[in-house]
């Protein structure tokens, strides 16, 4: 068959609803305590609305705080920059960065200035501005597995995937976290991954000014990674404020949902609104709500493979809904029957 000829794939889906079913037993209508907690966790979390960073949208008190922060920064430092953007030039990009620090500290100017100055000091000491130039060849096997940037969400935010299940293997754990020096090197590599994502941000009012974090909790060794996790969390919270628009947790075990339900009342509404929690078995369904299939890695039910990134932007996938009992004709162009394989996902 000619590779340019269309193939018509016909698939009939039978509705389970049309089949006679016995009346459910009263016991089957009762939800388990854990299931109820997981559903409540998801349903009670409203969607996060990202800030536009237009100064014209700020409240009078917020505009005043922004100007005060600029004045105090001016008096304490002659020149400073972050991600190549001068913070004292009066540029709208500088306003985006300063507003991130202000929002992280509820527009308390003194606290925001203290956080900003500590971050500037850390970036200089850590060498964050040049970390993209560093060679972490010893971490090649972690690329595309543990932490990596892959595609964008439906709104254009860069997406960072995190999966630490590989460290369930003791040999791998010792290789990466065996001593203090190894841990420090891992942290530098992890910061490099984040900086790659930040490099794609616009730092512009109305633009893309934050990333999406997808964290896979499957097989994650909790005790072993406690020290590394705490250091990563602390480092990111202190030095990358308001850089994450949404945090999606997938393959969430039952105990995580229970813990989240317990600590949820102590979190701010703004923080909770960024969380999306998906239990095992709902990964693809959850990710499809925020990310197009062609940008989701194949291991999570998407169409993106590491080798695809070398060939430029992915081709848009066609999405459609097939109702139970319907027959649908799908024409797929350019298929060579003897070489290509069609997968139903």
H or E segment at 332?
Answer: strand 327-332
**pLDDT score of 270:** 79
Residue 78 CB neighbours (<10 A): 7
User: Per mean pLDDT, which of 15-29, 43-57, 211-225 is the most reliable?
Assistant: 211-225
Mean per-residue pLDDT, 266-289: 87
CA 65 to chain CA mean position, Å: 30
Dist CA 65 CA 73 (whole Å): 12
Beta bridge partners of 250: 216
Grouping H, G, I as helix, E, B as strand and the rest as coil, residue 214 is strand
CA 66 to chain CA mean position, Å: 28
pLDDT tens track for 165-174: 999 999 999 9
Query: Taking 50 as the threshold, does the pLDDT of residue 13 lie above it?
Result: no
Share of the chain above pLDDT 70, in %: 80
Query: Taking 70 as the threshold, does the pLDDT of residue 17 lie above it?
Result: no
Dist CA 118 CA 238 (whole Å): 8
User: In this predicted structure, which of 93-102, 114-123, 189-198, 332-341 has the lowest mean pLDDT?
Assistant: 332-341
What's the pTM?
A: 0.79
């Amino acid at each position: 068959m000619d590779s340019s000829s269309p193939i018509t794939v016909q698939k009939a889906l039978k509705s389970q609803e049309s089949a006679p079913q016995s009346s459910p037993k009263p016991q089957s209508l009762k939800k388990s305590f854990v299931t109820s907690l997981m559903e409540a966790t998801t349903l009670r979390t409203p969607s996060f609305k990202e800030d536009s960073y237009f100064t014209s949208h700020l409240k009078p008190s917020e505009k005043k705080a922004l100007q005060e922060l600029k004045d105090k920064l001016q008096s304490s430092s002659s020149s400073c920059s972050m991600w190549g953007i001068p913070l004292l030039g009066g540029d709208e990009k500088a306003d985006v960065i300063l507003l991130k620090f202000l929002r992280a500290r509820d527009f308390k100017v003194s606290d925001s200035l203290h956080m900003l100055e500590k971050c500037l000091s850390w970036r200089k000491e850590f060498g964050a501005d040049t970390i993209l130039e560093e060679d972490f060849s010893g971490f090649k096997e972690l690329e595309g597995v543990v932490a990596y940037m892959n595609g964008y969400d439906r709104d254009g935010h860069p997406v960072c995937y995190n999966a630490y299940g590989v460290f369930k293997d003791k040999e791998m754990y010792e290789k990466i976290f065996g001593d203090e020096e190894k841990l420090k090197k891992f942290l530098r590599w992890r910061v490099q991954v984040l900086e790659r994502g930040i490099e794609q941000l616009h730092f512009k009012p109305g633009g893309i000014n934050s990333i999406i974090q997808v964290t896979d909790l499957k097989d994650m060794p909790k005790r072993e990674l406690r020290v590394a996790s705490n250091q990563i969390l602390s480092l990111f919270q202190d030095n990358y404020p308001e850089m994450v628009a949404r945090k999606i947790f997938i393959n969430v075990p039952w105990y995580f949902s229970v813990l989240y339900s317990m600590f949820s009342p102590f979190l701010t509404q703004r923080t909770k609104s960024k969380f999306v929690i998906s239990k095992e078995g709902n990964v693809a369904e959850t990710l499809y709500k925020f990310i197009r299939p062609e940008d989701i890695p194949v291991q999570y039910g998407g169409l993106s493979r590491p080798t695809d990134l070398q060939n430029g932007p992915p081709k848009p996938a066609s999405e459609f809904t097939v109702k139970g009992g319907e027959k649908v004709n799908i024409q797929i162009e350019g298929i060579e029957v003897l070489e290509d394989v069609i997968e139903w996902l």
